[in-house]
Amino acid sequence: MVHWTDEERQAITSIWAEVNVEEAGHQALTRVLVVYPWTQRYFSTFGNVSNATAIAGNHMVRAHGKRVVVALGDAIKNLDNVKATYAKLSELHSEKLHVDPENFKLLGETLIISLAAQFGAAFTPDIQAAWQKLMAVVTAALSKQYY
Amino acid sequence: MYSATEKALIASIWEKVTPHTEQWGGEALERLFAVFPQTKIYFKHVDTSPGSAAIRSHGDKVMKAIGSAAGDLDNMLTTLSSLSNLHAYNLMVDPVNFKLLSHCILVVLANHLPSEFTPEAHLAFDKFLASVAAILSQKYR
């Protein structure tokens, strides 16, 4: 069971209230595909994802990025039980999507970077720390059903 | 290997960092200590509280060293040679920490240069900082 301080909960919910879900998802997923191009292996059905311009303009990438960040909202609404909240998603990523769990870390990192770009000075070191903890908890929960 | 575009991106981003090496270097370290508190073990002799003069000065040093590597991408091995020795034989910082600091530097760049730190610039910088880290750990064993 993850222990969250009041400050950490506040850091997460206050930033979440201001996040543009579609834009953050688009930024984060675009960065994953551009910065770590081997991740393109999971998106062969998305059309052209072979270069930065194509990726940034790809509608399926945008839609998928949004979907991922919308799902993050479920974890944030259930901070005390992320593992149970994500059990089915974890199984999906392992059994159907066959995604290497290392990718959860990569997306967590690019989401942090996207938030830093959006929020500027408001994204303080302590707020970053709370969000990195959230990313670690989400990564662990999504990796749980792999065997 | 860096394409001409990547070299240009690294140079143009770094030009904007140069006037702020102390502030942004200090901030990168502050983020490192806040997010990854275990990294403070390497700084037991130093005041690591947020905004401390010691950390700003150390951050300045780190950023300036990165800057000299950025200024001569084809000769990084030479530029970073003595730092490589220092990290291998004196500091012996576990190489995993280079990744953690690199991440915090990328966060600082995104934070202060949101329009310049495009996905392409992010890629170029991630590659560059990974090379710096590889060179710093090169003589470890």
B116: closest chain A residue by CA: A117
Mean pLDDT of chain B: 95
Look at A117 and B34 and tell me if their CB atoms are within 8 Å. no
Look at B123 and A34 and tell me if their CB atoms are within 8 Å. yes
Q: Is the pLDDT of residue B107 over 90?
A: yes
3-class secondary structure, B122? helix
Look at A113 and B107 and tell me if their CB atoms are within 8 Å. yes
Read off the pTM. Answer: 0.88
Task: State the Cα–Cα distance between residues B139 and A104, nearest whole angstrom.
Answer: 31
Say which of A55, A116, A126 has its CB closest to residue B111.
Answer: A116
What is the average pLDDT across B9-18? Answer: 96
Q: For an interface test with A, which of B107, B115, B117, B118 has the most A Cβ atoms less than 10 Å from its Cβ?
A: B107
The two tokens of residue A77 are: 């609404």
Look at B31 and A128 and tell me if their CB atoms are within 8 Å. yes
Q: Tell me which DSSP letter residue B20 carries.
A: G
For A48, A65, B27, B127, the CA distances from A25, given in Å and listed in that order, are 18, 4, 26, 23
Task: State the Cα–Cα distance between residues B129 and B127, nearest whole angstrom.
Answer: 6
What's the pLDDT tens digit per position in A86-145? 999 999 999 899 898 999 999 999 999 999 999 999 999 999 999 999 999 999 999 999
What's the pLDDT tens digit per position in A5-60? 999 999 999 999 999 999 999 999 999 999 999 899 889 899 999 899 999 999 99
According to the model, what pLDDT value does residue A21 have?
A: 95
Say which of B34, B50, B114 has its CB closest to residue A128.
Answer: B34
Length of chain A: 147
What's the pLDDT tens digit per position in B42-93? 898 899 999 999 999 999 999 999 999 999 999 999 999 999 999 988 998 9
Distance from the Cα of B32 to chain A's closest Cα (Å) equals: 8
Question: Measured between beta carbons, which residues in chain A are less than 8 angstroms from residue B35?
Answer: 125, 128-129, 132
Which residue type does B130 have? Answer: A
Biggest CA pair distance of chain A: 44
Question: Measured between beta carbons, which residues in chain A are less than 8 angstroms from residue B3?
Answer: none
Q: For an interface test with A, which of B30, B31, B105 has the most A Cβ atoms less than 10 Å from its Cβ?
A: B31
According to the model, what pLDDT value does residue B74 have?
A: 95
* DSSP letters for A10-60: HHHHHHHHH--HHHHHHHHHHHHHHHSGGGGGGGGGGS--SSHHHHHH-HH
- The complex's ipTM works out to 0.79
Length of chain B: 141
A29: closest chain B residue by CA: B119
- Backbone phi and psi for residue B98, each to the nearest 5 degrees, phi listed first: -65, -40
Look at B31 and A123 and tell me if their CB atoms are within 8 Å. no
Closest CA to B107 of A68, A73, A124: A124
Say which of A109, A119, A123 has its CB closest to residue B103.
Answer: A109
Q: Is the pLDDT of residue B25 over 90?
A: yes
